[in-house]
Every structure is written in structure tokens, then in C-alpha cells.
Amino acid sequence: MTKLTREDLRSLARVVILANTAPSLYRGLLDTQIIPLLKRGSSVAELSNYYDRVTSRAKRTEIELGIAYALLIALLTHEDGAPTPDSARLKWGPAIAELITRSTAATQSIVITDGPRAASVTQEQSASSRSSLPPPQVGIVLVD
Amino acid sequence: MIRPLLCVAAESVVRDTTSGSISVFNILESVSGAGFPLLIQKAAFLAVWERSSEDPQSYEARFAVTLAGTELLRQSVSVNFRDKIRNRTLLTVNGLVVPQPGKLTFSLTVSDEVVASYAIDVTATVTATDEADAIPSLAPPVA
């Protein structure tokens, strides 16, 4: 079972206190590096049991909330195909689960501009167009 | 082999940089114009692809906009999954000239068997002319 230091627990609590949205909580927890620690130090069953135990309590401290959200993220992103935890036990659980689902998609945005405006990356259009306008230019932005 | 999950054309497709979610605004279902050639100032095409873990990550595709089989625009696109299972490709065309009415098709072709396409009708509107017909005078004739 993963052993978290006092500093780890403090940083979890800090993230929970400072987060005002689900994305900010998710990104804050990713920045703590505790999630890879949880995945390395515990089996999927241990993480799942711990998540059930922490989320079964009605009242939770900031540290317990931080641990719960970190466990949720660890289970949802586990490479060993962990069973899907019940994200609804946490206020921002479903929103974080949704974020994780969307982050599993690579996104590309390509702009084809008709005119001489230059983009960061340009390509010549290979086909001729019936239009008498100058050939369009292409800008490509890769995100994620 | 990869397969398309979704494709649609709209006035704009945007991605929320905070949450990563995609929003589609004003889906194009048909376009009508009073005169041709017609300029569509902004059109966006969204294709969502899915692959299995054994499939390659990168595919060379061709984006084309055709009108009744005639190509208006063609662009090579690399569909790159970047270690992920899904890919979302957003293509925005700023300025599309449509020469005449017909079926306008947006397509992203990976191979003959793997195509994501979306078609809309481009029609000509008939402009009404408001010319009043001669109205007979109601005043009695002057003797």
C-alpha cells in the first residue's frame, strides 16, 4: 500500500482548498505527482477498496477529499484496466471523469484561409479552384 | 482500421481549452443564395475518429469540398492519434466560393473504405420583386 508523507497530504489538502472548479482540481492533483505514486505503490484492488472506504464517510476533511479525488483519478487512468469507480460519490467526480474521457482524444485544428493572411504553418493548395481568388493558405495547430 | 464516429459541418466548431470539450455552432443543413457564385464566409468540419490499440497512430488523409462531384477545395491532412484511442479533427475553411447550386460535400478520406463525409444542399433563392400592380381608381370619372 502506498505510503503518503505528511507533505503529500498537505499538498492534497492545499489543492482541494484552492480549487474552485473541477478542471482546476483535476489539474492541481495531476501537478502533485501523487497519482503516479498511488498507481505504482498499490494494486488496483487496494486502490478500489481504499476509494470505497474513504468515500463511504459522510463527513470528510480536506485531506480525505484530496485522497478520494486522487484515488478516483488513479483508478480512471489506470493502465491495468481498473473497474470504473462510482464517481458520483464525489461532488466533482462526474466532471473529472468527463475530463479524463475527453483527454483521451487527440485534437487537431486546421484552418484553411482564403487569402494572403499567413499562418504559423502554411501549405500550398494542391488542387486548382474555379475561384479567381488567390489560393488558400493552411494553418495547422496541434493541441493535446 | 480506424473508423469515423461522427462528422458534421457547421458555421463554427470550437474547443474549450480548459475542459477540452468540443462545441458545434449552427450546424449546416442547407445553404441558399440569391446569386452565384456564392461566398460561404466561414464553414467548419468536425470528424471524430476511433482506432484500436493495434492500429497505427498516424494516417495520411485528404480533406475535400466538392460540389456535385467537382472539387472546390482539396487539402492533405495528417490524422494523428498521438498515443490516444480517439482523434478529433477540426477543419475551418475561411472563405468558400460555391459557383452554382448543387450538393456540397465535405469529406475527410483516409482510404477508399474509410471516409467521413457530410453533405448539404446549396440552393438558389428566387427573389420576389415588389412591384405594385396598377390599382384602378375608385374616384368617379369626371364628366
Burial of B80 per CB tally in 10 Å (0-12, 13-18, 19+): middle
For B96-131, the pLDDT digits (tens) are: 999 999 999 999 999 888 899 999 999 998 766 666
CA distance B81 to B103: 31
Task: Say if pTM beats, i.e. exceeds, 0.80.
Answer: no
Residues 6+ apart with CB under 8 A from B21: A102, B15
Q: Which residues of A touch B37 (CB under 8 A)?
A: 131
The sign of the torsion formed by the CA atoms of A90, A91, A94, A95 equals negative
For A59-79, the pLDDT digits (tens) are: 889 999 999 999 999 998 887
For A7-61, the pLDDT digits (tens) are: 999 999 999 999 999 989 998 998 888 888 888 888 889 999 999 999 998 888 9
This model of the complex carries an ipTM of: 0.78
**Which has the minimum average pLDDT: A5-14, A118-127, B28-37, B81-90?**
A118-127
Query: Which of B76, B84, B91 is facing A104, going by the closest CB pair?
Result: B84
Question: Parallel, antiparallel, or unpaired for β B30-33 and B38-50?
Answer: unpaired
Contact with chain B for residue A58, Cβ under 8 A: no
Mean pLDDT of chain B: 87
Statement: residue A139 has pLDDT above 80: no
Query: Which of B82, B93, B97 is facing A144, going by the closest CB pair?
Result: B82
Do residues B118 and B45 lie in contact, with contact meaning Cβ atoms separated by under 8 Å?
A: yes
Q: At B81, is the pLDDT very low, low, confident or very high (cuts 50, 70, 90)? A: confident
Closest CA to B79 of B39, B52, B50, B100: B50
| pLDDT confidence of residue B128 | 67
If you measure CA to CA, which chain A residue comes closest to B86? A105
CB atoms near residue B28 (< 10 Å): 20
Tell me the C-alpha to C-alpha distance, in Å, between residue A22 and each of A27, A62, A90, B30, B56. Answer: 9, 15, 11, 38, 33
The sign of the torsion formed by the CA atoms of B68, B72, B74, B79 equals negative
Answer left, alpha or beta for residue B32, where phi above 0 means left and psi between -120 and 50 means alpha: beta
Q: Which residues of A touch B74 (CB under 8 A)?
A: 125-127
Answer left, alpha or beta for residue B82, where phi above 0 means left and psi between -120 and 50 means alpha: left
Query: Is A141 or A36 the better-scoring residue by pLDDT?
Result: A36
Contact call for B88 and A131, based on CB within 8 A? no
Please confirm whether the linkage preceding B37 is cis (ω < 30° from 0): yes
